[in-house]
Amino acid sequence: MTKKRKSSLLSKVWYILWRLALLMVLIVLLFRFVPLPTTAFMLQSPYPVTQKWISIDKLPSSMPLAVVASEDQRFPEHIGVDFTAIINAIEQYSDGDGLRGASTITQQTAKNIFLWSGRSFIRKGLEVGLAFSLEGLWGKRRILEVYLNVAEFGKGIYGVEAASRHYYGKSASQLTTRQAAQLAVLLPSPKTRDPRNLTANLNLRVTWIERQMRQLGTDYLKSILEE
């Protein structure tokens, strides 16, 4: 391939990447204000999808607090990626512990909306870049609202409203603190857990989440929810 053809090919690739990046920014900006009709994870689901959007204003404060207590306690502080959690995970791995995830709620939201499951450096890099974009273009409140509406809580069950109706027969606006913690405990393995039939270890995890919620305090997310 001649130098001229290489230059032309690189120009075309750069043009395509630039247009894709612009399109991604426009999509992110659009969904800053309107409910997401679907996500990449929903489109990839092998099960019939059930999802119903609910405003974060209609949820009991215990529901967002439960997922933050369970998944990402530094959510109000980090900028989309929790470098402290990443360093701790690496140190624990070096000490002989298993390599645990250090994805923030922002990263999980980005992954659910735009990407795919599985482990790869390419996907992780895209996830990190999108997480920074969401933090800058959406803010914490919108990220948390979208996460609560698109996270998977069972086979084809997406969002806390669909989950609450499926498991408890009522709107998520009526969830108790215990039920909020029970839904939060599903998130790492939503396809294999049922909040109505948890193992003894998972019930202990629910109790731990409730204790973390009390320690964080009812005002922990107040500044975010009032954005």
pLDDT (tens digit per residue) in 41-88:
999 999 999 999 999 999 999 999 999 999 999 999 999 998 876 676
Does residue 37 form part of some domain?
no
Average pLDDT value for the chain: 89
Assess if residue 24 is contained within a domain. yes
Contact 37, 152 (CB under 8 A): no
Whether residue 127 has pLDDT greater than 60:
yes
Whether residue 73 sits in one domain with residue 1: no
How many structural domains comprise the chain?
2
Asked if 78 contacts 102 with a C-beta cutoff of 8 angstroms, the reply is no
Is residue 220 within 8 A of residue 200, CB to CB? The reply is no
- The confidence score (pLDDT) of residue 218 equals 93
Residue ranges making up the domain that contains 171: 48-225
Q: What is the pLDDT of residue 209?
A: 98
Residue 116 pLDDT > 80:
yes
In a domain, 67, yes or no: yes
CATH number of the CATH domain containing 119? 1.10.3810.10
